[in-house]
Structure 1
Amino acid sequence: MSECIFCKIIAGEIPARKVYEDEDILAFLDVSQVTKGHTLVVSKEHVRNILDYSDELAGKVFSKIPKLARAVKAFDPDCQGLNLLMNNEAIASQSVFHGHVHLLPRYESKADGFGLKWETHQELYSDAELDTVRDAIQDQLKKEEKA
């Protein structure tokens, strides 16, 4: 993908502050730094997002996340935790269409400018509707297993 900024970073055409690299992934500091230490974990294989990951690629990428998350949290004693975030498609705020995971350190003592708005809507869905949703997802999983 010659126009993909992450592919260019992986190829060394664009500099990055790399924190980790192996045959499958590259982890580097996000140039925007939402919080101090904001790190991106990028698969070296170009895939649009999680919806295009093979099981094999997911295993390669996500098996490295705990080690990287521990390192990102531990680098600063003020870090209290972190958010793990992956946006998939534009409606979910994906802006670079190459699969990547954000590791966002969180600092209690600092206004870090990051937040999530999460509203629940339990009252909107009946038990029967939720059962229908569950069954439809299970049917999709069965189709995926057969493919």
Structure 2
Amino acid sequence: MTRAATATEQGCTFCAIAAHEAEASTVHEDETVVAFMDLHPVTPGHLLVVPRHHAVGLEDLDETTGGHVWAVAHDLARTLRRSTFRPEGINFFLCDGEVAFQTVFHLHLHVLPRYTGDGWSVENLPGTLDRDRRLLDSDAHEIKAAAARLTGD
């Protein structure tokens, strides 16, 4: 009889962490998610909130799990503000897909404590688009139509 491959053997670092097969500095865990210190933090206190069940991106995440990921991240942001880290702000950052800078293909929500002069900035990312109101209205219509197709309305 062949045994099932472990999360570590399957090659997903975050699955291995969730299964306690790889090291992590864990700050929260429950049946649905695990939250731990980012191994390569942008700032001190940088956390990742990861679903236990493997989900590459948002498309693979059910609504209940997604809501729980957000709720845990929200609680951890409040916790960070009350910790000795004393951040001046918090960013949540999620990369969904390689073109969106995702490098670990197991969904994870970054909780980034922010400090004046910490050197990390979304201003370093490519600029914004100027969109005419008619184009914005057309874009909104397309998104509403896609949502209706998904829900069958």
TM, length-normalised to structure 1: 0.89
Q: What 5-or-longer segments of structure 1 have no aligned partner?
A: none
Runs of 4+ in structure 1 off by over 6 angstroms are: none
Q: List aligned pairs for 1:13-28, cutoff 5 A.
A: 13-28=21-36
Cα shift at 1:77: 5.2
TM, length-normalised to structure 2: 0.86
Flag the structure with more relative contact order, 1 or 2, with Cα contacts below 8 A and sequence separation at least 6: 1
Cα shift at 1:86: 0.4
Among residues 87, 108, 119, which one is paired with 1:79 in the alignment?
Answer: 87
Percent identity, aligned pairs only, is: 33
Cα shift at 1:137: 0.2
Indicate yes or no: 2:57 matched with 1:57.
Answer: no
* 1:48-102 alpha-carbon deviations (Å, 9 max, x no partner): 1122211122122222221111112322354111110001101111000101100
Among residues 8, 14, 23, which one is paired with 1:6 in the alignment?
Answer: 14
Among residues 92, 99, 122, which one is paired with 2:100 in the alignment?
Answer: 92
Q: Over the residues paired in the alignment, what is the CA RMSD in angstroms?
A: 1.7
Q: For 1:17, give the aligned amino acid.
A: S
Q: What 5-or-longer segments of structure 2 have no aligned partner?
A: 1-6
Among residues 123, 127, 135, which one is paired with 2:141 in the alignment?
Answer: 135
